[in-house]
Amino acid sequence: MADGQFVIIDGNELSFEEGETLLQVAARADIEIPTLCYDERLSPAGACRMCLVEVEGSRLMQPACSFKATGGMVVRTQTPKVERNRRFLLSLHMADTEQDRERAEDANPSRIFDLADVHGTAGCFPKVEQKRSGRPQDVNKFIEFRPERCINCSLCTRYCEQIEAVSAITLAGRGAETTISTADAKSLTDTTCELCGGCVAVCPTGAMTEKPALAYGKPEKELEKIRTTCNFCGVGCQLDLNVDREANRIVKATSPPPGTTVNDGSLCVKGRFANDFVHHEERLTSPLIRQEDGSFREASWDEALDRVVSGLQGIADRHGEDALAFISSSRCTGEENYLFQKLSRAAFRTHNVHQCAAT
Amino acid sequence: MLPKNARREEVLDRLEEQGGLKPGVVQRVHQETGVPEADIYGVATFYHLLAEPDVEVRVCQGLTCKVLGSEALMRDVQSTGTSACYASCLGRCDQAPALWRAHHQEPPLHTGLTESHSGLAIDLENHKKYKLKALQKLLAQGPDWVLGQLETSELTGRGGAGFPAHIKWRAIRGQAETERYIVLNADEGEPGTFKDREVMLRRPDLVLEGLAIAAKCLEAADIYLYIRGEFQGPKQAMRDALTRLQETGLLDGLNWHFVDGHGAYICGEETALLEALEGKRGMPRMKPPYPVEKGFRGKPTLIQNVETIACLPAILRQGGEWFRDLGKTEAGTKLYCLSGHVRRPGVYEVPMGSTMAELLDQAGGVDGNLKAFSPGGASSGFLPASEVDIPMDFKSLRDAGSMLGSAGVVVLNDTVDMVEASLMQAVFFEDESCGQCAPCRIGTQVIRQTLERYLESKDVAVLAHLNEVMWGMGEASICGLGQAAYWPLQSAMKYFPQEFGLEADSAND
Ligand SMILES: Cc1cc2nc3c(=O)[nH]c(=O)nc-3n(C[C@H](O)[C@H](O)[C@H](O)COP(=O)(O)O)c2cc1C
Ligand code: SF4
Ligand code: SF4
Ligand code: SF4
Ligand code: FES
């Protein structure tokens, strides 16, 4: 921290590091500045203008998300002008997207309305004509882009570029026609897109949304979030299963907020979208044992495990322990892999143990 | 994160070479440059000349052309089966109603000009052979002398902002970074403005010499000339003049890069221009940092308007004081573009601070009865006829709640409906907003839409909320486009309230 370097925000003398933005300095002091296009993981866009604050000596308000603190700067985040701007922008965004909260939140929650709860609006502006085009012909199964809800905050494109390092989507067009598109408006599946759904996670308005959940038709706010660990691989990403209690169904998986879990707000296509097997009618719910004629019959876990043990032991007896090899699934966690090699080495005395993701 | 070795700066040129956004082009440019396909598509769709490659004719719908009959022109063009679309001001308001054909050799334009005399800094009608005397003087006297003359001259930027040139020059000389760039802003697109076009066509030597002076003085080797895509004639004139001047050997050591604009007014804004040079969507950057500190490729960059640069040779030849004293209220002579309802539209060079009435005299007087004028491009809004005695300089116009801007003066007679005139400007700003920030992107739409509704219904109730929207655009937009986009409407409501069904002073809060 540079010696004697202070900014004064709302009367509080706050120290800062070279290069820090006003938003970062304010956040450390628990001074909340509303934002719509900011994500601490991404380079700031300065596009939504929600974070504008007054800086002494500057004629115009400045964006806290990108304006760098310098020694002696005097900043105000609560003035009538600052508050008026927030109300103006919220009304403007609603007029440009959706003015009815229920409709706006038919799927994902809307940060616009959350902020309006705190800051109010400037009233109901006349509805703005919609000029953004979408990609109705996009055949991918997971992600829907609803242009009429997009506020062009570019969180999705910045996420795709800077975190996913994929750059499958872009701001396209200009002015009122600015929208989110892929190259030549192709389906996501015909691009470099990995269907990670990060663009959905960062979207503040539900313009980028999960197709399966949209089809299910229940707003995210009415679902219960149950924190769990993704079991598709050993990384241990945390995810929230969004559950419809009444129907006892998982509707979708969402990533916990950035900065709170090891996956820092991200998930991959499997963690986020591959959960329909849970309720699939062909899902196996009990062990099956193959019979002489090749068909399967249901069995209890005890019976099935006994059968495995006797089979393995039979091989070891007849051909020696090194005739066995143990290969664990890439879905196993570190702890499971530890137990698995224990099984191999201690119970069957062979070092033939491997993990299928370790190649 | 751009892949390593990706060559983004080439993207726009390659898109242009391959005929714009046509099937397969994005993929090819991706293969050639390594830039992600989506990024290339995003760039191509930003620039109208690339995004709509099949349009043959662009008919100007700038204020001047619209008032002087672009709709009839459009009907004529379309009746021949030609594919045509409307375009924002084409920079040929003196030819109104104007049109432009891509890849089409155009005959020289006739425009009104001030007769040559010795009291002009630029002197468009001067045809004497050119000798690079100012550059030689710089080489003899050194950069500090140049900066001294520049400061004495009180030369201010002619691109719109009126910022003192010497401050930018000194700021660049003060940078520790030695990789520096000079950029000529020849993207002239402010409605009503066509002076840079004439300077490049008639005095390219002045511009090139001015750029060489800047480069030598600021120790930059690379000069970028960003020329509006529709200005192929002026670009050729500049190239020819460069070949001529390079024969003298005095320009040795300087690298000249000609870069085309691709149909985006916003790229005249200096940081959007830099983004375009770097092969990106022309969305203005947030300032600070300013280009003098972090400009092209993140290095100190001088960006100067064509007319500003063209003043340099005279300043060095005749001295800063001489230039300063040419002006009436502020320094120098100034190029004013007159179009609309005047008898002799053209580019007139007169002392800075000449009054509107004097400018009208230069242009042969008003065609009809003067009602209003737009003193410096669309961004300056309107002033009523009663203001004809206002000195047309940066300060006087700012004090009057307007601005000199690019000095594109559009004259309107009493046949013009101010609501319709406001709508024409609103359409311009909506079309040309880069779309990056919410207040401008949505605000320009609200204004256009509200004016259309008002024209249809004549119901003042539809004007509700306008004041709040205009306030927000002015306070919260990132760049000058959004910050000024409501001025035409606001000034029209202020000076012509009855046309909006308002009481005389209710619009003045
Ligand atoms: C929306 C917008 C459009 C602009 N267009 C132009 C232009 O076409 N030509 C120009 O020289 N300056 C234009 N400018 C001003 C430039 O940003 C910049 O101030 C200028 O090029 C600096 O050169 P000067 O100091 O010589 O005027 C524009 C500014 C804004 C905000
Ligand atoms: S799903 Fe992931 S990879 Fe695909 S566009 Fe969205 S952020 Fe990019
Ligand atoms: S889709 Fe969502 S995240 Fe992407 S720009 Fe639109 S509002 Fe922002
Ligand atoms: S004010 Fe308009 S043109 Fe300027 S950055 Fe914002 S959207 Fe773009
Ligand atoms: S959060 Fe700063 S402009 Fe959007």
Task: Find chain A residues with C-beta within 8 A of B25's C-beta.
Answer: none
Specify the 3-state DSSP secondary structure of A228.
strand
- Least Cα distance to B185 among B164, B210, B217 occurs for B210
Across the range A89-117, mean pLDDT stands at 98
Interface contact B40, partner A, CB < 8 A: yes
- Quick one: angle between helices B204-218 and B195-202, nearest 10? 90
Q: Which of residues 164-193 of B touch A (CB under 8 A)?
A: none
What ipTM was assigned to the predicted interfaces of this complex?
A: 0.94
Q: Which domains does chain A have, with CATH numbers?
A: 6-78 (3.10.20.740), 128-279 (3.30.70.20), 320-359 (no CATH)
pLDDT at A359: 57
Closest residue of chain B to A50, computed from CA coordinates = B476
Residue ranges lining ligand 2, Cβ < 6 Å: A 143, 159-160, 164, 166, 168-169, 188, 193-199
Mutate to test the interface with B, among A50, A58, A169, A170 (most CBs of B within 10 A): A170
Is 50 exceeded by the pLDDT of residue A211?
A: yes
Q: What is the pLDDT of residue A332?
A: 86
Across the interface, do A92 and B39 touch by the CB < 8 Å criterion?
Answer: no
Q: A219 preceded by cis ω (within 30°)?
A: no
What are the phi and psi torsion angles at A77 (to 5°)? -115, 5
Q: Which residues of A touch B438 (CB under 8 A)?
A: 47-49, 89, 92-93, 96, 151-152
- Cβ within 8 Å, pair A176-B1: no
**Residue A269 CA, ligand 2 centroid: distance in Å:** 9
Domain boundaries, chain B: 8-46, 57-101, 133-323, 327-411, 418-508
Which of B1, B45, B433 is the closest to A161 by Cβ? B1
CATH for B418-508, options being 1.10.3720.10, 3.90.220.20, 1.20.1440.230, 3.20.20.150: 1.20.1440.230
- Cβ–ligand 4 contact at B436 (below 6 Å): yes
Ligand 3: centre distance to CA A161 (Å): 14
Determine the atom of ligand 2 nearest the C-alpha atom of A182: 5
Amino acid B509: pLDDT: 44
B176 C-alpha to ligand 1 centroid (Å): 26
Q: Which CATH class is domain B133-323?
A: alpha beta
Q: Within 10 A of B388 (CB to CB), how many other CB atoms are there?
A: 16
Q: What are phi and psi of B46, to 5 degrees?
A: -80, -30
User: Could you give the CA distance from residue B502 to residue B509 in angstroms, rounded to a whole number?
Assistant: 13
**CB distance A347 to ligand 5 below 6 Å:** no
CA distances to A39, B87, B191, B411, B426 from B59, rounded to whole Å, are 43, 6, 14, 20, 17
What is the structure's pLDDT at B506? 52
Chain centroid to Cα B412, Å, comes to: 21
Chain B nearest-CA distance from A97, in A, is 10
Considering the domain B327-411 in this protein, what is its CATH number? 3.10.20.600
Which CATH code for domain B57-101?
A: 3.40.30.10
Q: What is the percent of chain B where pLDDT is above 70?
A: 99
Answer whether residue A1 shows pLDDT above 50. no
Task: State in Å: Cα B418 to ligand 4 middle.
Answer: 25
What pLDDT is attached to residue B198? 97
- Helix, strand, coil share (%) of chain B residues, nearest 5: 45, 15, 40
- Please tell me the residue having the least CA distance from ligand 3 atom 2: A203
Our separate counts of H helices and E strands in chain A read 10, 16
Residues of chain B scoring pLDDT < 50: 507-509
Kindly state the average pLDDT of the residues A76-85.
98
C-alpha B441/C-alpha A251 separation (Å) is: 36
User: If you average pLDDT over residues A311-334, what whole number do you get?
Assistant: 93
> Per residue in A29-46, pLDDT tens?
999 999 999 999 999 999
User: CB count, 10 Å around CB of B27?
Assistant: 14
Q: What percent of chain A has pLDDT over 90?
A: 93
Q: Measured between alpha carbons, how far apart are the two ends of chain B, in Å?
A: 47
Tell me the per-residue pLDDT of A109-164, one tens digit each, with 9 for 90 and over: 999 999 999 999 999 999 999 999 999 999 999 999 999 999 999 999 999 999 99
Is any Cβ of chain A less than 8 angstroms from the Cβ of B431? yes
Q: What is the mean pLDDT of residues A292-302?
A: 95
Report the separation in Å between the CA atom of A268 and the middle of ligand 2, taken as the mean of its atom positions: 10
Atom of ligand 3 at shortest range from CA of A37: 8
List the beta bridge partners of residue B223.
B182, B256
CA dist B472 to A92, A98, A310, B485, Å?
9, 20, 77, 11
Q: Is the pLDDT of residue A343 over 50?
A: yes
Residue appearing with tokens 């306030």: B471
Ligand 5 close to Cβ of residue A65 (< 6 A): yes
What's phi and psi for B244, nearest 5 deg?
-60, -50
